[in-house]
Structure 1
Amino acid sequence: YFIQLCKDYPIVYDIIWKLSFHSDIIDQLITRHDDFLKQLPTLPAAQGILQNVQMKNSCRSPLTNGVSYDISLISSSKDHFIVKKIEENLLKHNFHIGTTLNSSCILLCVSEESKHDSTCQAAIRQAVLDCKKIILCIVRNPYRIDDWFNTLNIQERKSLNVITSSIEKILPEIEKNCRNNHHLPAITKRTRIVSPPSSHRTSQETFTLSPAPQHSPVEILPMVPIKKIQNWTNQEVITWCDNNKLNAFSKILTHYDGRNLLALAHVSRMSAPHTIINQLRNDCRKQGLRLSFVEFVRFQAALDELLRLERNILRKQSISTLANRYVYKGKIAQQT
């Protein structure tokens, strides 16, 4: 659905870029939308999508060549005022400020704005792959440690905070962090497997290293409609949600039948994405549920696939009916 809008609304590339940080979305882009990936324009968001695809299954590997600067600041442009002050103080204390690639240490300016900024997320992802030391500094309230911030294992008590402390006071901590070992441990695509227990166990556990198992791409598996969607019962709608692992939707669509599902599909296409998802999130909150943006997109994709299957089945049935009529008329003509 979003891919179809890209041509007329380039801003949709930003939405797809944000989604493409999730592995299941990347799998769908690779397996189902190869033509879309081959025709991506030179827009920053479009190139960000392509970079996420190319970085799939990348391993951590310390980057040492070309690292000639002390620190790089990763922040949202909306936090420019406070980040500029931090940068000025770092320069006064003889820090050499560079980019994500050529710096040995990364200072992530934590805020709601940077959390929702795909450029920040892409830069931190690259820094993690390059095994860079990442320092966290909270620069604006309010903020929440969720979404991709969770992957950084942020401990708020250990994070620097320019809101509760002056910039001058946190500089020694930044310098201390930069002097420590810069590199995170390199990680290869291997997994640790515990050998099965035996009757003659030794006092030590034995471990063997073996390549990680290859998982097939995650695909949305729509339930093939055996009757028209408009005739579905509410139980069939819930079953369809369960089959597609749409956990939140299986709860909020409890009283939806096929006609209601089609109406929701129509409304979601006529409304702006942020409008419909906010309304759905409000329904989820009333039931103590949380609807992620990724699940909303998966719902849209599964529903599109379901409608496509129904159209194909109806078209085949129509062709079959016409063919039978033609054969029947031919037989009558021969008899006469």
Structure 2
Amino acid sequence: MARNYVMTDRYKFYLNQLHQSPLSQSIFTAKQLFYIKTCSLSLSLYLFVKTQDFPYTPEELIQHFGADITQIILLHTYTIELWSTELLSCITHLMFLFTTCCWWGGEKGSRGKIVFTTESAACEYIDALIRIIDYTPLYQSITIKRTNDETILLETTLFSLLNIAQKEQFTWFLRSKISLPNTLLTLATRSLCDKIRLSIYAILGEILCDKSLKELKIFDSASTFFFNMLEHAWQNPAKKFQQVPIGFLLKCLANFSKIDAFQQQIADTNKVLLLIEMCDQYPIVYDILWALSFNHDIQQQLHSSTTLMTKLTHLPKEYDNQIRKSAHGILWNLEISHEDHIPSTISNEKAFDIMISYSHKDEIICKQIYDELINSGYRVWIDFDQMHGNVMDAMAEAIEQSNAVIICMSEEYRRSSYCRAEANYAFKRRVKIVPILLQQHYRPDGWLLFLIGELLYIDFTKYEFSQAMKMLIKELKISVISEMCLVNVDPKVEVDTTIPITPISPEAPSMLKPPTDILNWNQTHVHDWLISHGLLQMSRLFANFNGRSLMYMNEIIENVELEKVISLLQADSLRRTSQTLSLVELSHLRSLLNQQKQSSPSTIIAKPAKVKVGKLKRKSSFCCQII
């Protein structure tokens, strides 16, 4: 079929006919439909089932017809409402063939680059795929199984979008399509085809952050639907559900398992037992269980499984390093492997100035950062060799022996269970955290956003490397200065403050001269004023404050029991800056504010307090409102 029909000049001739717009209906002859529709479908099905001993490589196939097929799709999706039955059938089977070749044998390499030589070219093709799923009249023809062209076209389009969404360099582009989630949800509610719904839920899991997924409220139905497919595939001797292999389902679950909202649904339905049953046959389940083990309810369910605990603590010697790493990670989260762990107390002197926490997909730029820091005289710990053995203990020791941890933020970092454990432990140990952004268009979400709170970050995608390094070293030096003035105060009240993080500018702008009246100061005035007086920690703790907010805070401190105020500010400081509260800076701030209040022409009119952080004891009968 391939040698005699598809890889021939005649096949290319019929492809060239489809490059015209509008098309003449006369081109759809029986011979043309045989080549474009029948031969394309036959080759696709053959490659889908059997790839051994084939005379051509997927690269050779794509080089022969890939550019033609993608251009045909790009051209005609603009006028999808004008498609004839014949054109619909041709485009459906051409797209199926192209998609099959791109992901031949389940591989997700760089074959698309043969056709899409630039990022913009790939984005144009993504837009074409979105135009197909935007065309709602197709929904009316969807069948339970792929028995017509409309169902095959939508299923193939969604499968292509899913594989694209799993490539981090295009996730940002899909996220920029504001209406895409609603389009996908509409299609999911109207579809009778389980494969279509599976792809939709998987795409949403890739492109939406935890907050957006919770707002869509799809996890009840998605979790039930997904585990229904997984259970049927597990019980099926062929380990498939409607021709969907269980391996594909588990790869989708590996991504879902990192989403906090989905974790809770799994916990509430107690589906962990099914996964424990599968882990011997499918090693990827160990990775899934590690990701799930960050959920408190799931931790209890894992603890109660004697079978799993035995497996984790007595792994067979033939198990590879990745399974062992996942097993150690699960035990670490369950606090079994480190419940008796005593932090290193060899001396007050740390062995390292900095630890670099990163995903190994970002190794090249992290190696550059490491070299620059070493050349600047810093003692840096970084894992370039992907540690073997119990990596969790080695990670803990490295954090305990470091003064600061640089968190290298990217999509892969957020998805890594090891990186999450590393960042969580640094936060738990109250080590200074310095976030840097390594992936263009990525913005922290989920657990990563919660952990770093409103910390300032250095954007390595926005500035030249040398400039970003200067900003990083400057930030590290500021951290050292701030730590010299810190006084430890045990937090007693935890305040939930999840505030968007802010990038650090390369150079501080010239200080704006603030108005005489502090009540008229904006956020920039406050920030510059705090920095100019050396109140570095206060500038972070009171980020986004204007002058009125700052004076209100001063009134709170004056009129509420000091011990309570310090306790609450300490909790805020740990959450927002990863530092214990500096009483030196706080005292200096109080003095400056009192001076400023005396010089301001107006005063704050105190109002009855409406403080929402516990029952605070007031030193007098009034307090002012926090805005």
Partner of 1:318: none
Q: Secondary structure at the match of 1:141?
A: coil
Q: Could you tell me how far apart the structure 2 residues matched to 1:142 and 1:20 are?
A: 29
More divergent stretch after superposition (176-185 vs 41-50): 176-185
- Check conservation: 1:110, 1:140, Cα contact below 8 A: yes
Q: Tell whether 2:406 aligns with 1:125.
A: no
Q: Pick from 281, 301, 310: which aligns with 1:38?
A: 310
Q: Pick from 366, 370, 376: which aligns with 1:87?
A: 370
Q: Secondary structure at the match of 1:39?
A: helix
Any gaps of 5 or more consecutive residues in structure 1? 193-202, 209-336
CA shift, 1:129, in A, is 2.0
Q: 1:26 to 1:120 in 2, by over 3 A?
A: same
- Code of the residue aligned with 1:48 in structure 2: it is G
Q: 1:160 to 1:78 in 2, by over 3 A?
A: same
Partner of 1:167: 468
Q: C-alpha deviations, 1:200-259, integer Å up to 9, x for none?
A: xxx967999xxxxxxxxxxxxxxxxxxxxxxxxxxxxxxxxxxxxxxxxxxxxxxxxxxx
- Check conservation: 2:356, 2:408, Cα contact below 8 A: yes
- Check conservation: 2:357, 2:407, Cα contact below 8 A: yes
Partner of 1:155: 454
More divergent stretch after superposition (90-99 vs 33-42): 33-42
CA shift, 1:184, in A, is 9.9
Q: How does 1:1-20 map to 2 (within 5 A)?
A: 1-20=274-293
- Code of the residue aligned with 2:307 in structure 1: it is D
- Code of the residue aligned with 1:84 in structure 2: it is K
CA shift, 1:155, in A, is 2.9
Q: 1:133 to 1:13 in 2, by over 3 A?
A: same
Q: Secondary structure at the match of 2:334?
A: helix
- Check conservation: 2:354, 2:403, Cα contact below 8 A: yes
Q: 1:70 to 1:21 in 2, by over 3 A?
A: same
Q: 1:57 to 1:22 in 2, by over 3 A?
A: farther
Q: 1:5 to 1:134 in 2, by over 3 A?
A: same
Partner of 1:50: 331
- Check conservation: 1:138, 1:160, Cα contact below 8 A: yes
Please provide the CA RMSD for this pair: 3.3
Partner of 1:320: none
Q: Tell whether 2:357 aligns with 1:74.
A: yes
Q: Name the one with the larger strand percent.
A: 1
CA shift, 1:48, in A, is 0.4
Q: Secondary structure at the match of 1:83?
A: helix
- Check conservation: 1:89, 1:167, Cα contact below 8 A: no
CA shift, 1:63, in A, is 6.2
Q: Tell whether 2:404 aligns with 1:105.
A: yes
TM-score (norm 1): 0.50
- Code of the residue aligned with 2:302 in structure 1: it is L
- Check conservation: 1:107, 1:135, Cα contact below 8 A: yes
More divergent stretch after superposition (92-101 vs 36-45): 36-45
- Code of the residue aligned with 1:167 in structure 2: it is A
Q: Could you tell me how far apart the structure 2 residues matched to 1:86 and 1:3 are?
A: 40
Q: C-alpha deviations, 1:154-203, integer Å up to 9, x for none?
A: 337x2111112233322222232244328896768x669xxxxxxxxxx9
- Check conservation: 2:424, 2:451, Cα contact below 8 A: no
Q: Tell whether 2:444 aligns with 1:145.
A: yes
CA shift, 1:93, in A, is 0.3
CA shift, 1:136, in A, is 0.6
Q: Could you tell me how far apart the structure 2 residues matched to 1:35 and 1:167 are?
A: 50
Q: Secondary structure at the match of 1:148?
A: helix
Q: 1:150 to 1:91 in 2, by over 3 A?
A: same
- Check conservation: 1:74, 1:107, Cα contact below 8 A: yes
Partner of 2:198: none
Q: Could you tell me how far apart the structure 2 residues matched to 1:150 and 1:88 are?
A: 28
Q: C-alpha deviations, 1:72-99, integer Å up to 9, x for none?
A: 0000000111111111110110000123
Q: Secondary structure at the match of 1:104?
A: strand
Partner of 1:289: none
CA shift, 1:116, in A, is 0.6
CA shift, 1:27, in A, is 1.7
- Code of the residue aligned with 1:44 in structure 2: it is K
The size of the alignment, in residue pairs, is 193
TM-score (norm 2): 0.28
Q: Secondary structure at the match of 2:400?
A: coil
Q: Could you tell me how far apart the structure 2 residues matched to 1:91 and 1:206 are?
A: 44
Q: 1:187 to 1:117 in 2, by over 3 A?
A: farther
Q: Could you tell me how far apart the structure 1 residues matched to 2:488 and 2:302 are?
A: 30
- Check conservation: 1:17, 1:46, Cα contact below 8 A: yes
CA shift, 1:28, in A, is 1.6
Q: Could you tell me how far apart the structure 2 residues matched to 1:187 and 1:35 are?
A: 40
Q: 1:62 to 1:50 in 2, by over 3 A?
A: closer
Q: 1:56 to 1:24 in 2, by over 3 A?
A: farther
Q: Secondary structure at the match of 1:82?
A: helix
Q: 1:109 to 1:174 in 2, by over 3 A?
A: same
- Code of the residue aligned with 1:51 in structure 2: it is W
Q: 1:135 to 1:206 in 2, by over 3 A?
A: closer
Q: Could you tell me how far apart the structure 1 residues matched to 2:487 and 2:280 are?
A: 41
Q: Pick from 479, 488, 512: which aligns with 1:177?
A: 479
Q: C-alpha deviations, 1:259-281, integer Å up to 9, x for none?
A: xxxxxxxxxxxxxxxxxxxxxxx
- Check conservation: 2:410, 2:438, Cα contact below 8 A: yes
* Structure possessing the higher relative contact order (Cα contacts under 8 Å, 6 or more residues apart): 1
Q: 1:151 to 1:62 in 2, by over 3 A?
A: farther
Q: Tell whether 2:416 aligns with 1:114.
A: no
Partner of 2:570: none
Any gaps of 5 or more consecutive residues in structure 2? 1-273, 316-322, 382-397, 495-558, 565-627
